[in-house]
Each structure stands twice: as C-alpha cells, then as structure tokens.
Structure 1
Amino acid sequence: MIYKNRFFFIDILKALSITAVVSYHSVFVPYSTYASSALLIDILFAPLRFCVPVFLTISFLLLQRGLTNRPNQSVLVLLNKRLSRLAIPTAFWFSLAAVLKLATGNSPLSISIAVLTGEIFTGAYYLLIMFQLIPIFVLAKHYIDSFKTLMAALLLQIIIFVVIQASLAGIIAPEITTFLKIFHRIPLFYWFAYIALGAYFYHKLPLIRKKSAHTPAHIKVLLLLLSGLLMMAEYSWLGKITAGNVPPFEYIMFSCLISVPVAFLCFSCVEAQKFPLLVTQSVTILSRYSLGIFCINGLVSQILLSLGGNFFAEATFDFSEILVIKVLGWFFLLAISLCLSVLLDKIGLKSVVC
C-alpha cells in the first residue's frame, strides 16, 4: 500500500503548510494601494503562521528518524550528506534569482546583500535557516531529543521572544531590534526550539498519535480555533507596538510555538484510507513538491508584484477588494508553482523541487 512506510499525517501537515506559505506571497499590487487595510489583512491571515514552524519541526522529526535508523553513521558523513542535499536547491534557486535581479538592473552589491540576508527571493531565508540548524542538530544528536533539552530550548526561545518584543515596544533597548532588522529572518535564535520539538516528537510519536486518536473531534476544532485566535491577537499586538511594520518579526510569537503541538495533536492520527483518492493524491503531490512550490512561489510572486506595480501604481483598494485579490492570487500562485515544480521534475531537475 502507498502509505505503508510513511505517515500520511506528515504529508497533510506539509500540504497545509505549503498552502499557507503561498498565501503570504499572493498580493501582486503595490503595498501603497492597500496600506490602510494591510495590517487587518495580516491579522486575518495570522493563524496560517504555523507554516514555517511546522515545516521546521517536520524536517527535524524526519532527520531524527534518519539518525535513529542509522545510529553508526559518522557525524561528518551525515553532515556532509544533509548539507550537500540542501546545497543543490539552494544554489539553483539563489543563482536563478540572482540572474533575474541582475537582468532587471539590480547591482551586484545589492544582490549579494540579498543573498546573505535571505531576501534574494521571497522565503529564501528558510534555506539559510536550515544551513544553520542542521549542523547544530547533527552535532548535538545525543542530547537533542530529551525532555530536559526540549524544556530548556522552549524556555530559552520564549525568553528571546520576550526580549525582542520588549525591544519592539521600547521597554528595553530599541536598538536591539534596529540591529536585528539588518539580518531579516535568518538568525538561528528565532528558530532553534523547533529542532528540539522535531527530535522529541519523533520519539514520542506513538504516544502523540494515541492521544490524537482519543481526542474528540470537537476538542481538536476548539484547539485549532483557540490557537488561531491567539495568533491573531498576538500579531495584532505586534502590529500595535510596531505601528503596523511587523516584518521581519512575524515569527517571534509564542503562539507559533504553541501551533506546532496543536497541529501534531490534531492531525497525527489521520490515515489516508479515510479520504477519497483525489484528496490523498492532492495531499501527496503538494507534500512531494513542497520544496519546489516554496522556492518557485517566492520567485514568481516577485515577478508578478513587479508587473502589478506597473499596472496598479495609482490604484487604491479597500479591505474587501484586497481580500479578494489576495485569495485569487493565492490559488493562482499555488497552481502555477505546483505546475512548474512538476515540470522541473519531469525534465530531470527533481533535486531542486523534491
């Protein structure tokens, strides 16, 4: 059977996460045309911020599985294998984005800065995050999966989030966040807790799946709603203390940490057999090409935004109009990113999309 040797719920979480990722890149008109509605739109879509935390957690859960299945593999061999595999899509997409930017008149210096800060295309920071976190995971593999490590990582992550939010609010040293803005979203101290979550969840997966199976559906719905409302409330708070200029601090929310165990509890008992074949196939293809979709949508969205800037520079959109634009753009961008991912796979470029 197709799902015999894999967890279908992992595919579901990846499919949901990549769909959520695309939603944040789906407005192809200038910010100035909807500035009055921008924060409200961001708050409305804040519950989808689970996407990057869940992606990271799944990545390290699967990496932990690999370590467990090959306990005698040397650290250097494992590190070289994982980083080499990551380097191929990174080099491909970063190079393509750099060529496109150079062709459109960007200077080599600005392109170099964009590469180093993970801004060469929308979402590129994720690949740079993985380059930082994988060595930490591999080097600390004997300690990373314990409950004590998890608690220490979560506590330290929360402290960092508190400090950054306090700095944004002007309570302590505003220069901290002024400095951090230079590096956008790539500092590893925004993300390291997801290493511990992934490793710990792998070893506790049977228990998590059992708890999920015994949790009533209405409780799961309630947990998802509460998690979403908490993310909206926290994003609203960030919008207030930053005067609506939340980026690049969208993921320093405590609710992002909470969203991961909620997602695993709610979905980890889901089996493929319970869904129609069309649903399982759709989930599987989105999961399979999540890397390609992630990178392609980031590139295509920038191209479409540049075109939209030319056509709609003088336009003004109210909340309902920009919401419709965002939703339509969301489905269009997801579809074109998936189609291009499949095409690249078919012509022999599987390693850059899967």
Structure 2
Amino acid sequence: MRAVVIEKTETGTEAALKDFPETELMEGDVTVRVTHSTVNYKDGLALLGKAPVVRRFPMIGGIDAAGTVETSTHPAWKPGDAVVLTGWGVGETHLGGYAETLRVPGDWLVPLPDGMSAAQAMAIGTAGLTAALCVLALERHGLTPDAGPALVTGAAGGVGSVAVALLAASGWRVIAATGRPEEEGYLKGLGAAEILPRAELTGPGKPLAKARWAAGVDTVGGTMLANALSMTMADGAIAACGNAGGMDLPTSVAPFILRGVALLGVNSVPAPIPLRRQAWDRLARDLDTDAFAAMTTTIPLEGVFDAARDILAGKVRGRVVVEIG
C-alpha cells in the first residue's frame, strides 16, 4: 500500500511517500480502508522532524483518518461501517492515517455522523474535535452567550476556525484574534463579529487588564494566553488547547484570585468515547456545508509535505483535507 513513512536517520528523521507492506500493520481488531486524512499542526511537526512527536520507527504519519471498515472482530463494527479516527497516539506511537489501510483497536473508533461525508469529517478532524471539546468545556463551566463576548486566538487556523464557527452558531459574539488581517472576510464569514489584531495580545501584559470577554478558546499559549486571562471578565474562563506560542505561561495569580477566572485545559488525544461522540454530534449539528467549504483545502497524499511546511509557517487558512485514494 502507499503510505507516508517517517524513518529515523543519523541526523534526525526523514519522511517520504513509498510502498509499505500491509503485513507490517500494527495489532488491532478492526482494519479500515482509509479514504481521507488531514494535516494538523502536529502532523507538520512530525513530517518535518521539528519536535519529537514520533516515538517509534518506522512510523506512518497522519494523526487523523476516515474511511470504511474492511474487516472486524470487534463487536461494535462490521465491514462497510463508515468510521472516524482521531487521537490515541495514531501517527505518534501507532501507525497513522497517511496510508491506504489502517489497523487499530475498535475502541478507538467513532461512527461517521449521519449526513457527513468522510471528507467533511476530515475537514473537522482533530482540530475541529478539539474546538468542540473546548466549547463543551466552557458550557460545562456554566458560561452562556449572555455572559459577554468570546475570544478565539489563532482564529484563522484549524482549531480557531472551527471554534469561531461553533461559538457563533451557539449565539456568542465572537472576537477573533489573528495576525493575518487579510483573513478578516474569511473570519467574519465563519461568524466572527470583531477582528482583534494579534499584536494586542502579544506584548508584555499586566497582571490584570480591562475586562473584555467572558470566555475564550486559546490555541496559542504563552504570552497570548497570559494576556487573554488578564482581560477575562469576572467568573469567566479560557479553554486552552495549544502551545504554538510557547510552553511557558507568564501570568500571575491575579486573574484567578481577584476575578475568579478559570483556566480549562483541553486534550483531545485521550478524550473518552462518550465525550467524543457528544463533540461529533455537536459538530454535525452546528457546522454547515458552507462553513466546511470556506475553511477547507483538498490535496492529494503527495501534497502533505508542502502542507506541513505551510502549516508550521502559519500560512494555512482553516483546514487541509488529504485524499488518500
């Protein structure tokens, strides 16, 4: 089968599109014929060897996959079932979705939502699932649109784009923070009410600044998250899910003890299946086909290398879908 294989070299890692024997697929009780995958920020890091994402070699890249069950000994799945796979270490410790065939434990799979195609599911992928989990986390915290606006950082990226669309569909007034002013039309098309220049959140911040939003989805981390917290209204919350801006968090206790602000961490990789199903149901309900089209670029499997470079350089708008067949 054709696959994008990442191998260890003397100087680091190297990724290439090549033939890979299906007999070397890893253990699992479900075999899936993959039709679509996607390119996430983590995929870019793995393909270009920019971070130690891959933990076994050789590795097939691709942390997401959608396709059809070919064989199954798992009681929940039968041949012909349409399924979606995100997380669980796929593309990191378990052979991933940039291949024509994938074998995994059936407990890692969720059904393709009714009315959604495999390509649309991958336009959502890990990024969209993460965005939905962030929105659900804010709602579990008790926040509703009447509390005030919602901030989304890295708004033109994959997670950010879906977060903007989901929050807007739920009635929030969305403030979209981006360093790409040329994307204003795109973001307003997804439902953003206001565009905030990234520079307003990247400078040295105060322990507390003027309160501007009740909730937020932060995809960046670092100084931007610190500033977002300092500008959050009393009893508000920020759901944090990314670290493209750095692993440090140069903040103080002031937002937490003086305004009661909450920082909600979100990690989609080990999210339990019931929560995943809830998130996918929300995505299927609230994201329309126009939103998919606005945020999606489709490429062939051999295009993942250029897409990886673009996503790490911050040049990718929305989502990139990979056609495997």
TM-score band, normalised by shorter chain: under 0.3
So what's the TM-score if we normalise by structure 2? 0.24
By relative contact order (CA 8 Å, sep 6+), the higher-ranking structure is 1
User: Which has a greater percent of helix?
Assistant: 1
User: Which has a greater percent of strand?
Assistant: 2
